[in-house]
């Protein structure tokens, strides 16, 4: 639960700056809850399957992120949080392009970034093995491919402005994930988030320090006036 908050709270801060209350939102790889755990506005959640019945305010759609059943510029914003690392490297570019195709204003990608983050997840996988617990499915998938890097966004054309920032220090992320291996800590984190959300968010922001586990990449579509300035 604290891991969810750590990766969604920075995205929510970006959305607050970029979106109006009535703007539309799509989340890729949402699972059955997704960003709706922390943002109580209607959104479309897209995934290849839903492990349990999707919860409001999500409107669920079963589809692959590389083949979205939506028209061009269908959503004001699209979020893909901790998705790219689950996609084979040769398909990651296709997912990015598909997300941008359906984005009207801004797309936000969050992902564990680079070999150091991968090494920490390998340590986590080893920790599961040592206590004879099955590795979670998401962690099994993390071990299949090298983690993505920011260089995936280098080739975008001038229609887009790309910015990025770090999220969660490696050590803090590893500490949280070790704690969340146990039900008691999951319960403690859930209670704290429910009772003291602002305090927890402030503490999580202090944990956004180098070396980072995750990168959050903001890809914003240039306005017509910005395009004219680039191409006078």
Could you tell me the residue ranges of all domains in the chain?
2-224
The C-alpha atoms of residue 146 and residue 162 are separated, in whole angstroms, by 22
pLDDT tens track, the chain, 232 positions: 789 999 999 999 999 998 888 899 999 999 999 999 998 899 999 999 998 888 889 999 999 999 999 999 999 999 999 999 999 999 999 999 999 999 999 999 999 999 999 999 999 999 999 999 999 999 999 999 999 999 999 988 788 999 999 999 999 999 999 999 999 988 888 898 888 888 989 999 999 999 999 999 999 988 766 665 666 5
Q: Is 38 helix (H, G, I), strand (E, B) or coil?
A: coil
Q: Which CATH number fits domain 2-224: 3.20.20.70, 3.30.470.20, 3.40.630.10, 3.40.50.150?
A: 3.40.50.150
Q: Please classify residue 67 by burial: count the beta carbons closer than 10 Å to its beta carbon, then call 0-12 exposed, 13-18 middle and 19+ buried.
A: exposed
The C-alpha atoms of residue 84 and residue 92 are separated, in whole angstroms, by 6
Element of type H or E holding 155: none
Partners of 45 in the β-ladder: 27, 60
- What separation in angstroms does the CA of 72 have from each of 2, 28, 99, 156, 160? 35, 16, 10, 17, 15
Q: Please classify residue 146 by burial: count the beta carbons closer than 10 Å to its beta carbon, then call 0-12 exposed, 13-18 middle and 19+ buried.
A: exposed
What are phi and psi for residue 52, nearest 5 degrees? -145, 175
The C-alpha atoms of residue 150 and residue 177 are separated, in whole angstroms, by 23
136-195 per-position pLDDT tens digit: 999 999 999 999 999 999 988 788 999 999 999 999 999 999 999 999 988 888 898 888
Going by the DSSP 8-state scheme, the letter that residue 36 receives in this structure is G
- State the sign of the Cα–Cα–Cα–Cα dihedral 13, 87, 27, 151: positive
Element of type H or E holding 221: strand 212-221
């Amino acid at each position: 639960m604290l891991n969810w908050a750590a990766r969604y709270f920075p995205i929510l801060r970006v959305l607050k700056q970029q979106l109006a209350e009535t703007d539309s939102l799509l989340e890729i790889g949402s699972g059955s809850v997704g960003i709706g755990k922390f943002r109580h506005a209607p959104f479309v959640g897209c995934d290849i399957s839903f492990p349990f019945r999707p919860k409001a305010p999500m409107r669920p759609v079963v589809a692959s992120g590389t083949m979205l059943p939506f028209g061009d510029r269908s959503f004001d914003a699209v979020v893909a949080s901790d998705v790219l690392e689950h996609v084979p490297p040769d398909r990651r570019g296709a997912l990015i392009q598909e997300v941008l195709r359906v984005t009207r204003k801004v797309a936000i990608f969050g992902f564990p970034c680079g070999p150091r983050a991968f090494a920490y997840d390998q340590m986590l996988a080893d920790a599961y093995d040592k206590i004879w617990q099955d590795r979670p499915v998401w962690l099994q998938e993390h071990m299949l491919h090298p983690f993505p890097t920011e260089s995936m966004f280098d080739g975008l054309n001038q229609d887009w402005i790309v910015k990025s920032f770090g999220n969660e220090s490696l050590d803090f992320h590893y500490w949280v994930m070790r704690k969340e291996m146990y039900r008691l800590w999951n319960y403690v984190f859930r209670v704290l988030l429910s009772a003291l959300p602002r305090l927890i968010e402030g503490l999580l922001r202090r944990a956004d320090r180098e070396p980072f586990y995750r990168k959050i990449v903001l890809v914003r579509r240039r306005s017509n006036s910005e395009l004219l300035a680039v191409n006078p």
